[in-house]
Structure 1
């Protein structure tokens, strides 16, 4: 499920696509990289992405879980548009203070929709899903700005997550071809 806004795809592609040699979180090497911080640092572009994400949220969402670091500003913007409370989900639980993985309201028994910036293999989302479920959260969906995974594949099927994306790599490639 995507929104496929062609104007947004063109603007994100023009702002964020970098070429070169990049090692991704998964260890894969890519000749291109979508630097999500370039759109997240632009309030107007971030707002457009967040508006599209609002349309993709499951109706039963109780909490938004913004993944460290790129998912946090997006989740905050989506929360400001929807009134949903937000969690800030760390890559690892703190080893001091509250020792929490997810900062914010208690997740036990709550339906948490994860918010992520870019998904390729879904490693960070997979890790967060497992940890949140162990804490009692109900996690069935992730909404991301860009899904870079191969077309027609759900990289998070193994943990039972539905991926909903504002844009896919194919949307961004089509925008580049039109430019």
Structure 2
């Protein structure tokens, strides 16, 4: 996955940080073999008692869908902000109020999108305690989502990917 998805150059991340490396998650999310491998590795990371898998728009949606098929839990597709037309929903799929939602994300650096989704889902009545992600880019030993009491369970960390490169 690393050799396919790690790009070098100068990239501005969602957080506003500038990085000389970028993990283009769409390169693994669009490959059925790599997406399947990521979903397979996530199965063991889903906490007991999870009722819904909340895939964050856009990158978390294909992963949540693949994971849903493996663990037999319904997927919930969480928007960055509630629609301003039609149903005006924050999330598409089953009702999540009062239910235990495990978030699914592709890459976490500072956790901004996950933090926003966690706060919005909690405000709407969901119980959100864990996020599983494909790659955690945050500094080793740090939980960028500790401030909202969210546990991060990554398949891979940036430090592990760096170590594997030698």
Q: What corresponds to 1:124 in structure 2?
A: 113
TM-score when scaled to structure 1? 0.92
1:106-129 CA-to-partner distances (Å, cap 9, x unmatched) read 111100000000000000000000
Instruction: Say what the alpha-carbon RMSD is for the aligned residues.
Output: 0.5
Q: What corresponds to 1:159 in structure 2?
A: 148
Q: What corresponds to 1:7 in structure 2?
A: none
TM-score when scaled to structure 2? 0.99
1:95 aligns to 2:67 (yes or no)? no
Structure 1 consecutive aligned stretches of length 4 or more whose deviation exceeds 6 Å? none
**Of 29, 38, 49, the match for 1:49:** 38
Q: What corresponds to 1:134 in structure 2?
A: 123
The answer for unaligned runs of 5 or more in structure 1 is 1-11
1:83-123 CA-to-partner distances (Å, cap 9, x unmatched) read 10010000011000100011111111100000000000000
1:61 aligns to 2:63 (yes or no)? no
Q: Retained in 2: the 8 A contact 1:13–1:175?
A: no
Q: What corresponds to 1:143 in structure 2?
A: 132
Structure with higher RCO (Cα < 8 A, 6+ apart):
1
User: For 2:97, what is the secondary structure of its paired residue?
Assistant: coil
